[in-house]
Amino acid sequence: MMNSQDIISLSIDQISKGLQLELQHKPKLKDEGDPEKILLAWLTPIIKHLLDTNLERLLHLLYRIDVSELKVKKTLLEASPDEIASSLSILIIQRQLQKIALREKYKGFS
Query: Quick one: pLDDT band at residue 13, thresholds 50, 70, 90?
Result: confident
DSSP 25: G
The three-point CA angle 51-38-6 to 5° equals 115
pLDDT, tens only, 35-90: 778 889 889 999 999 999 999 999 999 999 999 999 999 999 999 999 999 999 99
Rounded CA-CA distance 47/70 in Å is 18
* pLDDT of the residue at 45: 93
Other C-beta atoms within 10 Å of 24: how many? Answer: 6
Give the residue ranges of DSSP H helices in 1-110.
4-18, 35-53, 55-65, 69-78, 84-105
Question: 108 or 86: which carries more pLDDT confidence?
Answer: 86
Residues ≥6 apart with Cβ < 8 Å to 110:
none
Cα Rg for the chain, rounded, in angstroms? 14
